[in-house]
Amino acid sequence: MAFTQIYLNLPAADLDASKAFYLALGGVLNPQFTDETSAQVVLGDAVAVQLMTHEQFSGFTKRDIATGPIEVINALAAESKEDVDRLVEAAVAAGGTEPRPAQDMGWLYNRAVDDPDGHSWELLSYDPSAMPGEPE
């Protein structure tokens, strides 16, 4: 079995602020799945983020919405270090925060950015052929 797409469903305290953040990451709003309680932002051919107001999100679970602890760090690969820098700067300008400095390992470059609700993302660019060590 092979999956064809991933949809990340995320609660958003301020739907408009969250949309601005994900659009700044280069996403495109999908109007078919967008209304006053939810917005789908497509980040690539196989990745979409479904942002939902807390009330809408709560309709899909009986669990409390986490607003502080971290449970997952999502990662997106970009084509170059320059793309990573450009996207993180745009996301920060749109209300995101950068929780730590960039990491440059030579073969892998990444930066972290949190959306307005604290959902964590790693943006990275890497060259697997330059990775140290022998493949297993």
pLDDT tens string 22-61: 999 999 999 999 999 999 999 999 999 999 999 999 999 9
Q: Is the residue at 96 inside a domain?
A: yes
Q: Which residue spans within the chain are E strands per DSSP?
A: 6-12, 28-30, 38-44, 47-53, 73-77, 103-104, 108-114, 120-126
Q: Is the residue at 136 inside a domain?
A: no
In sequence order, what are the residues at sequence separation of 6 or more whose Cβ sits closer than 8 angstroms to the Cβ of residue 23?
Answer: 29, 41, 94
CATH, residue 22: 3.10.180.10
Measured in degrees and rounded to the nearest 5, phi and psi for residue 84 equal: -60, -50
Predicted TM-score (pTM) of the model is: 0.89
How confident is the model at residue 135, as a pLDDT? 58
Adjacency order of strands within the sheet including 6-12: 6-12, 47-53, 38-44, 28-30
pLDDT digits (tens, 9 = 90+) for 55-101: 999 999 999 998 888 889 999 999 999 999 999 999 999 999 999 99
**Number of folded domains that form the chain:** 1
* Domain extent for 98: 6-64+71-130
Could you tell me the CA-to-CA distances from 9 to 79, 82, 124, 130 in Å, in that order? 25, 28, 21, 34
Is 37 in contact with 55 (CB distance < 8 Å)?
Answer: yes
Q: Is the residue at 32 inside a domain?
A: yes
Q: Is the residue at 44 inside a domain?
A: yes
Strands 103-104 and 73-77: unpaired
Q: Is the residue at 1 inside a domain?
A: no
Q: Is the residue at 122 inside a domain?
A: yes
Q: Is the residue at 135 inside a domain?
A: no
